[in-house]
Each structure stands twice: as structure tokens, then as C-alpha cells.
Amino acid sequence: MKLTIFERPADAAAAAATLVAVQLRDQPASVLGLPTGRTSLGIYDELVRLHEAGAADFSRAHTLNLDEFVGLPSTDRRSYCAFMQTHLFRRVNIPPAHVHFLDGRAADVEAECLRYERLIDQLGGIDLQLLGVGANGHIGFNEPARTLHARTHRARLTVRTRRANAPLFRGRLREVPREALSMGMATILHARRIVLMATGASKAAAVARMVQGPVTPRVPASFLQLHRHAEVWLDRAAAGRLKDG
Ligand code: GLP
């Protein structure tokens, strides 16, 4: 796992946005795997800026988001779909038909998860997967557990993760869904290239376990150690608990 430490969160976000822009320049029909969350906001703002400057063309790209809450329609402003529309998709030139999400309201969850896996295959796989990490070491909504799911599945959220998502629900933990649909570990690990970005001291413990701890389902992000082209981009605060050497 290649580690890069940036001075400030904004520097990491700018580098991630530039990485996407270069990916789109070199391979305009790229398939991008995208996260939501506070960490991704800086990346998306910078990508919009690059797009407006003519340096990021999404016209042939496809995107696949990592996860979505169960029970929320895509039109619900608290859904991850709405988050992405607001912060990225409405602000760049991606054709709406190229934007792909898990449907948190699907009646047949198994069929929906299978549809997503097949879609990823039909698109030729994910070229570049951007990731955030939960303070408990989750990626997507693959929560720490005794066993992990390889493929796209329905996930039960921990209280800690629901709390972290509460700001989307006016701070009301009760309103945060208890379940989500998420790409699985193998789905994520099959991406050709992965860049995980983490900023802030609240992520420092998870980062240390992800990078320097054993590969374990108790820290789902630690599985990135097995990927050939996985990188971790941090600011100084998130790197604060890494041991030297
Ligand atoms: C959320 C999402 C993850 C995201 C993570 C970090 O629960 N499901 O995909 O990467 O938590 O979010 P943040 O960047 O807001 O800390």
C-alpha cells in the first residue's frame, strides 16, 4: 500500500481531483467508483472547479456509487444519491444515464445487488475507485465483523456508523436507516486502482490499523493491503498514529 501524507486536507482533495481529471483525460470512457461523506466533499468541489476550467470532461465516463441507505428513494434529499447529485453530478457534464446507484427501495434486494454486480461487469470493471474510511475501519458500508461479504449486499449499520451519518438526518440518530446496500469487499478489491483518502484526527486510529495492523475483518479497510494498486492519501492529522518505519 503506497502512503502519501499531505500537509492539509485541501491538498489531498486537490490531488485526488487531479487524479480523476487525468484518468478522464487518458481514458475518457473510464468507470469511476465513488464514495460519499465529508471527506469526499473537497474532492468534488475541486473536480467541479477543474470541469469549469475545461480540465475534467465527464461526457463519456460512468460512475458507480459504493453504497446507499435502505428505504430511502433516490429523490430523498438525505439519500447518498441526492448527496452526489448536489455535490457533483448536477455540476459536471456527466450524462444522467451514466450515473449508477444501488436502489435503496428495491423490493427484491438480492436481485438489486446482483443487478449491480452484473452492471459493473458489463461496464468492464471499475478503473478507479475512490474511498473514504469510517472511524471504525469500514469501507463502503462493509462494517467490522467476524466475516465480511464478498459481493454487493444488504448491510446492517453499527450505531457508531449511524451516528457518523446523523448530520444528514438533522442530527437525529433515530431517523438514520439501520441498513444499507453496499458493494462488497471483492467488488471493491477488483477495482484496477484504489485511492483511499482520510483526513482529521478522528480517522487516525483506523488509519494506523488499516495500514500497519493485521489484515482482519475487524478492520475491513485493512484488506486494501492485499491490493496491487491501492494508495492511501492522508493529511497530517489522519497520519498522526502511524508508527515510524
Ligand atoms: C460513510 C460511507 C463511507 C464513507 C465513510 C466516511 O458511512 N458509507 O463510504 O467513506 O462513511 O465518511 P466521512 O468522509 O464523512 O468521514
Reading the chain (245 residues) residue by residue, the pLDDT tens digits are 999 999 999 999 999 999 999 999 999 999 999 999 999 999 999 999 999 999 999 999 999 999 999 999 999 999 999 999 999 999 999 999 999 999 999 999 999 999 999 999 999 999 999 999 999 999 999 999 999 999 999 999 999 999 999 999 999 999 999 999 999 999 999 999 999 999 999 999 999 999 999 999 999 999 999 999 999 999 999 999 999 86
Q: Which atom of ligand 1 is nearest to the CA of 39?
A: 14
* Domain-embedded: residue 171: no
pLDDT at position 245: 62
The residue whose C-alpha atom lies closest to atom 1 belonging to ligand 1 is 37
Q: Closest Cα to atom 11, ligand 1: which residue?
A: 134
Examine residue 164 and state whether it is found in any structural domain, yes or no. Answer: no
Examine residue 149 and state whether it is found in any structural domain, yes or no: yes
Check which CATH number belongs to the domain holding 210 and give it.
3.40.50.1360
pLDDT value of residue 244 = 84
Mutate to test the pocket of ligand 1, among 36, 41, 43 (most ligand atoms within 8 A of CB): 36
The answer to whether position 165 is within a domain reads no
Question: Is 138 among the domain residues?
Answer: yes
The atom of ligand 1 lying closest to the CA of 164 is 7
| Residue 244 DSSP one-character state | P
Residues with CB under 6 A from ligand 1: 35-39, 66-67, 132-134, 140-141, 161, 164-165
160: in domain: no
Check: CB of residue 122 under 8 Å from CB of residue 100.
no
Looking at residue 152, what is its pLDDT? Answer: 98
**Residue 159 domain flag:** no
3-class secondary structure, 49: helix
* Residue 94 to residue 225: CA distance in whole angstroms: 32
pTM metric for this prediction? 0.97
Residue 174 lies in a domain: no
Using the atom order of ligand 1, give the atom closest to the CA of residue 202. 16
Q: Which residue has 483506523 as its cell numbers?
A: 206
Structurally, the chain folds into a number of domains equal to 1
Domain extent, residue 93, equals 2-154+182-235
In sequence order, what are the residues at sequence separation of 6 or more whose Cβ sits closer than 8 angstroms to the Cβ of residue 13?
41, 42, 43, 45, 46, 197
Q: How far is the CA of 138 from the centre of ligand 1 (A)?
A: 8
pLDDT at 196: 98
* Residue to mutate (ligand 1; options 34, 38, 39, 139; most atoms within 8 A of CB): 39
